[in-house]
Structure 1
């Protein structure tokens, strides 16, 4: 059974005559007649009887029409889906990312990306960088984002590096300074990440080299905890521009010298081709991340 045969059958059922059906399809009337004859031969029963110059569908044709209509609708949906895929308006993306970038940055970016892509579905998995890296061999993701990027097996890694800045409450005495150094922060209550974090090591070395006392009153696992603590006015902290996004109205961000670098890696599986829609999301994310480096 050919798709064109079903189209001709549906056109006659809709139009009522061979002539009108041929006009709907843009083909000759004999072509429609021959196509229906072929379809009737395949099916083994008559589809139409001629009465008073019109074609009267048989009882079998009426029953068959329901299935034919569903088939045509399914083909139309398939064509629409293919068009959306071709135009990058449809698809699924699974993202596995560490919490810091999952809380504000990625949801805001996803919202922007989906504005004109109503048929795209995104699954965001928030995992510690350690878990993200552990799960890389499973390739159960399209895009992964982790801290401490290094040489990973089976993935393509793109590294982004950011300058950390000092955040203080707006009414903090240090909020008026243009640049902060370890000397300025000598003995000032400080909130920092755990000792094994890449930024903590750099900050400790900067204070040591300057001969300043690093007064850490809070250690936490995530930047967001430091930010909330600083909002209370009890301390200062060094954070990156990704994690501090969205707090500009409540905190003052001040450059810190010497530079403290924060690095993340955007990872994609080597053995799993990136879909067109995932590629578009990656392009948008690269632009947003690069604007903060």
Structure 2
């Protein structure tokens, strides 16, 4: 029977629900009309229409008083809960309209997550303290997929995302760096060349990475071949490898490598640049929080 009344309650519109609830709560049509600031005939008309719609009476007049029927009592608990949920929804939509709260879904590569985003989000949250942030730290390929299907609002990556509906903007160029332990012989050098890395176990990106061909070309210009000891997809993955003595790493200079105990980074020469890019899906509405976050990232870069 409860299921039946739940189904019948769905036939109520929001106004009928509000008036039915007010009559149950206040005990009379007159009191309900006063609390809702409408006329008594208007309340009676809505109630009469609702009872005709349902096919049974919700109230009986006994001894001059309006008495709820068994059906009304069965419906009221759910009706009251639904109405309170509608009020919460109204408040939420009003708050969103006033731009007090919202949601921003960000996809970011790990180097960006470890470097730029914490500071940019700190700046962003000063002006938008109630905005919820969903941060997806993923490989670039997965970030691109989520951007295309709409699971994220924007992407911040090292290199642009190539997809038919994706629009990317390059924010800054980041030079490649050589990451090593502080006690490595190369730590005394101001710059590291491809010749300095010959014979050393090298940790870096494969040729499939956007930066891979440029690094290969830099080695060839110096007459040496790049031989990878360990291939990584993200520069952050090099941290435990270098710390563990497995080699030196040729990675991006976006991450503040000096913040990791025991590690130092030196510029790679010739300069090889990786691009920090922000991307959105032109086939979907742009988040109204996109521009404030973009401004915060630009200030940092």
TM-score of the superposed pair, with normalisation by structure 1: 0.68
User: Is 1:194 the equivalent of 2:206?
Assistant: yes
Distance of aligned partners of 1:64 and 1:235 in 2 relative to their CA distance in 1, 3 Å threshold: closer
Deviations 1:241-287 (A, max 9, x none): 44x4577132223344442201254433332333x3xx526753673
User: Is 1:69 the equivalent of 2:80?
Assistant: yes
Distance of aligned partners of 1:35 and 1:246 in 2 relative to their CA distance in 1, 3 Å threshold: farther
Contact kept, 8 Å, 1:188 with 1:235, in 2: the verdict is no
> Secondary structure of the equivalent of 2:203?
strand
Correspondences of 1:38-187 after superposition (within 5 Å): 38-51=49-62, 54-80=65-91, 82-83=93-94, 86=97, 87=99, 89=101, 93=105, 95=107, 100-101=110-111, 104=114, 116-117=130-131, 122=134, 124=136, 126-127=138-139, 129=141, 139=149, 141-142=151-152, 143=154, 148-149=159-160, 152-160=163-171, 161-175=173-187, 179-182=190-193, 185=196, 187=198
Contact kept, 8 Å, 1:81 with 1:90, in 2: the verdict is no
TM-score of the superposed pair, with normalisation by structure 2: 0.67
Distance of aligned partners of 1:38 and 1:138 in 2 relative to their CA distance in 1, 3 Å threshold: closer
Contact kept, 8 Å, 2:168 with 2:280, in 1: the verdict is yes
User: Is 1:240 the equivalent of 2:249?
Assistant: no
> Secondary structure of the equivalent of 2:60?
strand
Distance of aligned partners of 1:229 and 1:94 in 2 relative to their CA distance in 1, 3 Å threshold: closer
Distance of aligned partners of 1:205 and 1:81 in 2 relative to their CA distance in 1, 3 Å threshold: same
The counterpart of 2:238, out of the listed 226, 243, 248, is 226
Aligned position for 2:20: 9
Q: How many residues are matched?
A: 280
Aligned position for 2:296: 287
CA RMSD of aligned residues (A): 4.5
Q: 2:300, 2:182 → 1: CA distance?
A: 22
Deviation at 1:13, TM superposition (A): 0.8
List runs of 5+ in structure 2 lacking aligned partners: 1-11
